[in-house]
Homo-oligomer: A and B are copies of this chain.
Amino acid sequence: MKAGSTVRLPPGFRSKFLDALTPTEIKTVLAAAREEPISRRQVLQRQGELAHRLCLPLTGLVAAYRLVDEGSKLFLRWGLPGDLFGLSALLAEPSTYLVTVEAVHQGALLTWDLAASRMLIGQFPNMLRAVNSLAASYMDDFIDVLAVRVSLTAPQRLARMLVKSARQIGRVGDDGIKLDLTNEQLAFIAQVSPFTASRQLNQWQVRGIVRKNRGTILLRSLPRLEEIAKVGSYRP
């Protein structure tokens, strides 16, 4: 697709970013965008790379993480459709991406290159305000990830990420909320070893709180998970 072509927003699409703009602004902003497909595991921006574009996923799921000492990945947050990222591209001086963003599922993406995003940000003070507010909420999120990691036990982190992911990427079924996550992915986002994740999920399955299938987790009782995530350690 090329800039200027009509961008069709997917049905049910909501974006905190676009919501902060007026209809006229939205029209201009969308007109300046370029749409492109994203495939699974595709890296959309790499931490440390020169920030060269602003991105807005339309469909699919991406993950933002930081690489630590060549190898291990540190999950920071999901990027859902409507979540603007690559904000570093909007800074005055050329700067680098703070985190790596990688597609977890395939989907589609709107992008604005440096010229376009600079132009828009200069033209619409509204957009600048929206972006600053977004940046603040991301910062809050990141600090929270740290707080969670430091102050919660492994089972609590798992429960918490299940609850959080349920809200973000859960599909409501008749017998609970279904998450398309492998043990390994859950372990990754909860900052736990895959073995710990496996053991804990089994225990919860025995207790009837979740049900497991290869690649998916069915949450049968959100309240009980929320309870575990909140207070004192889990009791075996």
Interface on A for B, CB 8 Å cutoff?
A: 66, 68-69, 72, 74, 76, 87-88, 90-93, 95, 98-99, 128-129, 132-133, 135-136, 138-140, 142-143, 145-147, 149-151, 191
Contacts and interface: CB of A to CB of B under 8 A. Distances in A.
A91 B186 CA distance: 34
Given A147-B66, A149-B150, A136 B72 contact: no
A191 B219 CA distance: 34
Contacts of A91: 129, 132-133, 136
Contacts of A69: 151
Contact of A151 (B72, B90, B136): B72
A136 B76 contact: no
22 contacts: A66-B143, A68-B147, A68-B151, A74-B146, A76-B143, A90-B132, A91-B133, A91-B136, A92-B133, A95-B133, A98-B139, A99-B143, A128-B128, A135-B135, A135-B136, A135-B139, A139-B139, A139-B142, A142-B142, A145-B146, A146-B146, A149-B150
Nearest to A126: B92
Contacts of A138: 139
Nearest to A151: B68
Contacts of A92: 129, 132-133
The prevalent SS among residues of A at the interface is helix
A-B interface, 9 closest residue pairs, ranked by CB to CB distance from nearest = A92-B129, A146-B146, A68-B151, A68-B147, A139-B139, A98-B140, A142-B142, A66-B143, A91-B133
A129 to B, nearest CB: 4
Nearest to A129: B92
A208 B87 CA distance: 46
Nearest to A69: B151
A132 B132 contact: yes
Contacts of A99: 143
Contacts of A76: 143
A146 to B, nearest CB: 4
